[in-house]
Amino acid sequence: MAREQWGTKLGFMLAAMGSAVGLGNIWRFSFVAGNNGGGAFLLLYLGCVFLIGIPLLLTEVSIGRKAKSDVVGSYQKLAPKTPWFFTGFFGIFSAFLILSFYAVVAGWSLYYFFNYVTGNFFEAPAEAGFGAVFGGFISQGWQPLFWTALFMAMVIFIVVSGVKKGIETANKIFMPLLALLLIVLAVFSLSLDGAMEGLAFLFQPDWSAFSQPSIYVQALGQAFFSLSLGMGALLTYGSYLSDDKKLPGAAVGIGLMDTFFAVISGLVIFPAVFAFSIDPSSGPPLVFITLPTIFEQMPLGGIVGLIFFFALSLAALSSAISILEVPTAYFMRLFSWSRKKSSIIVGSIMFFFGIFVSLGFGIWSDVTPIGEKNILDSMDYIASNILLPLGGLSMALFVGWYFKKATALKAVDLKDDLMGSTWYGIVKFIVPVVILIIFVSSL
Ligand code: ILE
């Protein structure tokens, strides 16, 4: 059977942007920034995106496009009889870990959407506010699992039936709409009493924070997570791209777009966090408490909330399908499974892990696999802060050191000029050195 291909470069761009923009920009960015002091984190995050993220994004897509195979097969094809294919397993493992908790959080988003459809969340149902509402919801057993299962079923359905085109088309409408909503929300949030404190939190770095090694790891991990980097999603999407499509512009476009969504989310969340006296280091629940509180205060907030959670769920969906695609494509080739069989099996395993993640907010809330971290935080930590950067490191070494310069440049459609040499130097020297330093200092 011939390998599938994107019809046009725009199709690829939309899919790759759909992959990048997701819960990571709004949900994860906000709570990680909140946990790590705001301004200092933002600065390091932006540094990681531009210095490491975008050059590696270009690298990852180019590996897939050159090899036209899955995340493991690509290395086997480009470097036969070498151990480079282990790089691919970073992607496979991260994909399993990440989608297992991503589906749980996306389930929360679906639940919120549902509660805006019914009008339940137009006003905080209890005196205690949305913090208590959210806490009550995630600590139940079945209800959050139902929404996780529903989300996972949708992801599998899309990956099986190849209606990705439908999702891309929907994203054409809803991504700009989400951007517009975020801008409106940011303006509203900034007009709240006490908003300036939030702005200062986000944009005035506390310089003493730079002496903590953990904040570097967090910034690097967030850059990888948000750009869908190191999990094989971009490599796999790149493998469906024909050789005549130029990559560098696409890579920069995806990176800028993704960063825009993160920064604007920060402008929505932090002014409101301070205005409503919410603790910025509330962790994963942060946006699920802050957003409905904003919607409750603004005119037509119920409708805005409804559209917002619809768009957020859709953004999560287009990200999730890119993650499920990674092991799906791998097992299809490895075991000669059909797309249907592969994605159902992989998706079911992820859902199974998701059960643990979800119960980690309820009956298993005292299960802390790593330090004080609950199940979600532990899985997220291993995947985002360890596996993704190591996968990225390995990828940079592969293209920087295994390929000859001319081969590497050709793979990414750059010439041996200033721009090409800059990219090559970054991938060959700077990326490995920076990732290693961040790693070693955090140990
Ligand atoms: N990049 C997306 C996001 O930020 C996903 C991360 C794919 C796992 O939500």
14 has a pLDDT exceeding 80: yes
Total residues found in the chain within this entry: 443
SS3 assignment, position 370: strand
- Our mutation pick for probing the ligand 1 site, out of 61, 257, 319, counting the most ligand atoms within 8 A of Cβ, is 319
Domain ranges of the chain: 9-442
pLDDT in the model for residue 126 = 64
166 has a pLDDT exceeding 70: no
Instruction: Name the CATH topology of 9-442.
Output: Amino acid/polyamine transporter I (1.20.1740)
* Distances, alpha carbon 117 to alpha carbons 125, 130, 265, 316, in Å: 15, 17, 23, 19
Q: For 408-420, what is each residue's pLDDT tens digit?
A: 999 999 999 999 9
Mean pLDDT of 50-62: 97
ipTM of predicted assembly, 2 dp: 0.97
Q: For 231-275, what is each residue's pLDDT tens digit?
A: 999 999 999 888 887 899 999 999 999 999 999 999 999 999 999
Mean pLDDT of 57-70: 96
Mean pLDDT of 293-316: 92
Q: Quick one: which atom of ligand 1 is closest to the CA of 258?
A: 4
Q: Is the pLDDT higher at 178 or at 341?
A: 341
Dist. CA 404 → ligand 1 center (Å): 31
Q: Quick one: which atom of ligand 1 is closest to the CA of 23?
A: 9
Report the distance separating Cα 134 and Cα 124, nearest Å.
Answer: 10
Percentage above 70 pLDDT, the chain: 98
Q: Is residue 144 very low, low, confident or very high in pLDDT (cuts 50, 70, 90)?
A: very high
Which single residue is written with the structure tokens 């696409």?
Answer: 250
Q: Quick one: which atom of ligand 1 is closest to the CA of 323?
A: 7
Pocket residues for ligand 1 (CB within 6 Å)?
19-20, 22-25, 98, 102, 225-226, 228, 233, 319, 322-323
pLDDT in the model for residue 198 = 95
pLDDT in the model for residue 109 = 97
Q: DSSP assignment, residue 300?
A: T
160 has a pLDDT exceeding 90: no
List residues bridging with 370 in a β-sheet.
Answer: 373
28 has a pLDDT exceeding 90: yes
Q: For 274-284, what is each residue's pLDDT tens digit?
A: 999 999 999 99
Q: Quick one: which atom of ligand 1 is closest to the CA of 225?
A: 6
